[in-house]
């Protein structure tokens, strides 16, 4: 069974840091782009970052560039999101997503499997 499990969320003060982890199982992680998206309470989805299969390409939405860093360890079946200089507007549930593959084509912006999410609250 394909599964993604996020962890590492919690309450942090403005300006603080957190590292989110995403544990993958049931599929070959190294075949897929991986994506982080977030959803503020009661709000819509917000694309955050993506990382290529071998980690050689990383893409970020402007609002997190320079503050967030996405990484992966295929040998450990894990993907990470290091978040620094956190702001109140970063408060959200963060979802890890597997980049969708159809045959030989694998996508960097489309996900067919998501974790249950981990809540990050930035407040003093």
Is position 119 an interface residue for other proteins (rule: CB under 8 A)? Answer: no
CB contact at 8 A, 19 and 118: no
Nearer to other proteins by Cβ, of 14 and 43: the residue is 43
Minimum distance from CB of 49 to other proteins (Å)? 8
Give the contact letters, 53-72, x = binds to other proteins (CB under 8 A), - = no. ------xxxxx---------
Give residues 20-39 in contact with other proteins (rule: CB under 8 A): 35, 37
Q: How many whole angstroms separate alpha carbon 25 and alpha carbon 106?
A: 18
* Cβ 74 to other proteins shortest distance, Å: 21
Interatomic CA distance for residues 50 and 60, integer angstroms: 7
* Least Å from the CB of residue 63 to other proteins: 8
SS3 40: coil
Task: Choose, by CB under 8 A, the member of 34, 50, 80, 86 that binds other proteins.
Answer: 50
How buried is residue 44: exposed, middle or buried, by Cβ count under 10 Å (0-12/13-18/19+)? Answer: exposed
Find the shortest distance in angstroms from Cβ 123 to other proteins.
21
In DSSP notation, 22-64 reads: EEEESS-GGGS-EEEEEE-TTS-EEEEEEE-TTS--EEE-GGG
Interacting residues toward other proteins by CB under 8 A = 35, 37, 44-47, 50, 59-63, 95, 100, 102, 107-112, 114-117
């Amino acid at each position: 069974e394909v599964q993604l499990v996020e962890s590492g969320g919690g309450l942090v003060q403005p300006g603080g840091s957190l590292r989110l982890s995403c544990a993958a199982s049931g599929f070959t992680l190294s075949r897929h782009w991986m994506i982080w998206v977030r959803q503020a309470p009661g709000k819509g989805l917000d694309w955050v970052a993506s990382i290529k299969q071998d980690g050689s390409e990383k893409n970020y939405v402007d609002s997190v560039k320079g503050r967030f860093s996405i990484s992966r360890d295929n040998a450990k079946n894990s993907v990470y999101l290091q978040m620094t200089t956190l702001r109140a507007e970063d408060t959200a549930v963060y979802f890890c997503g597997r980049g969708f593959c159809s045959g030989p084509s694998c996508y960097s912006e489309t996900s067919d499997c998501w974790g249950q999410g981990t809540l990050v609250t930035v407040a003093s």
